[in-house]
Amino acid sequence: MTATSLLELKGVSKRFGAVQALTTVDFEVRPGEVVALVGDNGAGKSTLIKIISGIIPIDEGQVLFEGRPVSLNGPQASSSLGIATVYQDLALCDNLDVVGNLFLGREVRSGAAGKLTGWLDETAMEQQASALLQRLSVSIPSVRTQVAALSGGQRQSIAVARAMMGSPKMVLLDEPTAALGVAQTRQVLDLIRRLREQGLGVVVISHNLMDVFSVSDRIIVMRLGKRVATFDTQAAKEVEVVSAITGAKKQEVVETLKTEAQ
């Protein structure tokens, strides 16, 4: 255990029937760092993320948050600790505008504080939405734009901003740049850097090694349900990471990369 871990998993195992999805996995995220979680299909990445977000329970192991043992026995438990998850499918409401999406389920009402009475305080919500997007440097035409009219990168940014509404300490992002173009990807990677600047612990699942190298501080590699390697991104070489992902020898990876480049 490092004194500075925000979240720490120790010896976590998870089985689905005959499938051992995770085998005694240790995992740690520190405040102000971006951890890339990589691995081939079926390696156990999503299972790990779902455990951290409280969607599936662990069979064995221990979870510590800010050094204290915790039980992630439901999404509510996870979010009340300050863990927010942004899923690949975004879960935005296309027919609502940006303000509507950001405040969905947490609308600000005028009148007595905390009461579910009174009119929706649109002005307050609009101001808070603008302030949040400005803090994250997310640029959109207007907070009153319908989400359906935004680009993929803008939508992903709104999904991340929505996760920030509860002032989390940690954000989990599942394939945040999948299906995005080059400029949109850059926009989302910039946003991830801003989350780090604000001191959050960020975990990003990605199959795109370019993105991983561009945005992460550490790379954790999963293979067949085990954590098989960890790299400091600055010192890591692509061939080593690919070799850890596939289990192939480094020389074989070099040959494959050469062939692909031809």
Q: Which residues sit at the interface with ligand ATP, rule CB under 6 A?
A: 16, 19, 21, 39, 41-47
| Smallest gap from residue 27 Cβ to ligand ATP (A) | 13
Contact 212, 236 (CB under 8 A): no
Burial of 85 (0-12, 13-18, 19+ CB in 10 A): buried
The terminus-to-terminus CA distance of the chain in angstroms comes to: 45
Whichever of 43 and 72 has its CB closer to ligand ATP, that residue is 43
| Smallest gap from residue 169 Cβ to ligand ATP (A) | 23
| Smallest gap from residue 45 Cβ to ligand ATP (A) | 4
SS3 string, 86-142, reads: ECCCCCCCCCCEHHHHHCCCCCCECCCCCCCCCCECHHHHHHHHHHHHHHCCCCCCC
% helix, strand, coil for the chain, step of 5: 35, 25, 40
Please choose, from the candidates 99, 79, 86, 82, the residue with its C-alpha nearest in 3D space to the C-alpha of residue 156.
86
| Smallest gap from residue 183 Cβ to ligand ATP (A) | 25
| Smallest gap from residue 46 Cβ to ligand ATP (A) | 3
Task: At 255, list the tokens.
Answer: 């040959």
Whichever of 21 and 215 has its CB closer to ligand ATP, that residue is 21
Whichever of 7 and 125 has its CB closer to ligand ATP, that residue is 7
Question: In 10 A of CB 185, how many CB atoms?
Answer: 22
Whichever of 88 and 145 has its CB closer to ligand ATP, that residue is 88
Whichever of 46 and 156 has its CB closer to ligand ATP, that residue is 46
